[in-house]
Structure 1
Amino acid sequence: MSSLSLLSRPSSSVLRHHHHKPTVTTTTRLTFNSPRHLTIKAFSAPSPVQPLTQDDLKKLAADKAVEYVRSGMVLGLGTGSTAAFVVSKIGELLASGELKDIVGIPTSKRTQEQAASLGIPLSVLDDHPKLDLAIDGADEVDPDLNLVKGRGGALLREKMVEAASDKFVVVVDDSKLVTGLGGSGLAMPVEVVQFCWKYNLIRLQELFKLEGCDAKLRLGDDGKPYVTDNSNYIVDLYFKNPIKDAWAAGKEISAFEGVVEHGLFLDMTTAVIIAGKDGVSVKSK
């Protein structure tokens, strides 16, 4: 993909207010304006008889992330297995009265159904175009806190909601950490219109030929093409080698006619909460 090396990273003048080249440091502090729970510190997980499962780790990270939520906030509610723990915890706190006056903006029909079942008041971006906070999971996190998201199929709505949020907190277990995006060998999704999807699949595979990319149409459990909440298809890209320049890659993918959105979430993250066998830690900008 020789063309990618010729592309320059977008200048700061064209980025949104929270899209800038980060200097990432590992820290145990993330401060919000509210006086409650201003500091998050790394802590040790309990020592159960049985080893912690991946779901246990996700729940630890999700519980920590919900400490960022304040009464009166408009919240972006993510999609996926980790985000489901976040939504569940918010529902519990609303039911107990610890949280009040929350408005949730779900990133998928699945999240909308879960949140509604828990009594979380819901709305849409059209009515709340500026959010206080979004919490979501991620499929990959690189050292600069850039992400791959969308293996749950909700990448378009996730990116729209999270880009509209003042703060974007990501919750993961440590298996999601990579040295370079695409490095896990798992899917990096691209949402495409149904019309001539194979045409774009071939173009995407050719674009990343040097990375050893294999492009596949995502199928549902019934063996038919998976259809997103937006009535589109997903082409999953599988890389043998990490993407060398994610900014250039994202720009070239978006330039293809018929591509709706890609799963590279670049310079959007405020903090990443990481649950591992030794406890929970926080990386922030």
Structure 2
Amino acid sequence: MISDDLDQLKKTAATEAAQFIRNGMVVGLGTGSTAKHMIRALGEKVRAGMTLRGVPTSQETAALAKQAGIPLLEADNRWEIDVAIDGADQVDPQFNLIKGGGGALLKEKIVASSAKQFIVVVDHTKQVPILGGSFPLPIEVIPFGWGSTAREIESLTKSRVVLRERNGGPFLTEAGHFIVDVHLDRITQPGELETALNLIPGVVETGLFVGRTDVLIIGTPQGVRTVHAPRK
């Protein structure tokens, strides 16, 4: 099955990402299907004697890390994160990302921005020539007045904005916020769009990760490719 093949590519790439981790590091642990493979690979390193501590980006990730035997830092710590490893829903040729399909974009961005190095792991289908189109842009908003916030987003982007739902009601993030998904055909200036969206009252954070990726690890049918971003 194609999905099984893609999952194997994710696993291979995530295992490669785990090779960047050294003894004594504090590691930011992403959320999602690719991150699960990475957490299992790190758990094997811990069982083999490596010392490391993790900062999870979701309750799901925290539970997986504990199962894998990875010690975790408390959420209210002032972290010194050496490396954060996470997946992405889309990545463009400039290493800009769309993230947030799993709803953990706020914590993911906090952890990524706190890390000395941010490693992104994807399978080859996540690479796109330009962000947008096949995947909507998630934006985390506060529930109060979310409809007005969504209207402002629609006005700015000239695009359809849809409230994410689950089990017949609004999807709630771990911080108690809503997510709206913005259906944009093309995001030609992701940095400018990220800045403009964050100026709208009610917007907590966007799923645009611009200029943050240091290393991109791609699982392909021909093998794993590791690409370093140009110097920032």
CA distance in 1: counterparts of 2:146 and 2:218, whole angstroms: 36
Tell me the equivalent position of 2:157: 208
| Larger RCO (alpha carbons 8 Å, 6+ apart) | 1
Find 1:154's aligned residue among 92, 104, 111: 104
Q: What are the equivalent positions in structure 2 for 1:67-216 lying under 5 Å apart?
A: 67-97=19-49, 99=50, 101-124=51-74, 126-183=76-133, 185-209=134-158, 213-216=159-162
Q: TM-score, normalised by structure 1?
A: 0.77
Find 2:189's aligned residue among 214, 231, 245: 245
Tell me the equivalent position of 1:261: 205
Q: TM-score, normalised by structure 2?
A: 0.94
Compute the RMSD of aligned alpha carbons: 1.5
Give the secondary structure class of the aligned counterpart of 1:281: strand
Give 1:251 deviation, angstroms.
0.9
Give the secondary structure class of the aligned counterpart of 2:148: helix
> Is 1:219 aligned to 2:171, yes or no?
no
Give 1:224 deviation, angstroms.
1.0
Give the secondary structure class of the aligned counterpart of 1:273: strand
Tell me the equivalent position of 1:23: none
CA distance in 2: counterparts of 1:219 and 1:123, whole angstroms: 31
Report the AA paired with residue 131 of structure 1. I
Give 1:206 deviation, angstroms.
1.9
Larger radius of gyration: 1
Report the AA paired with residue 277 of structure 1. P
Structure with a larger share of its residues in strand: 2
Calculate percent identity across the aligned residue pairs.
41
Q: Which runs of 5+ in 1 are unaligned?
A: 1-49
CA contact (8 A) 2:139 2:205 kept: yes
The count of aligned residue pairs is 228
Structure with a larger share of its residues in helix: 2
CA distance in 2: counterparts of 1:122 and 1:244, whole angstroms: 38
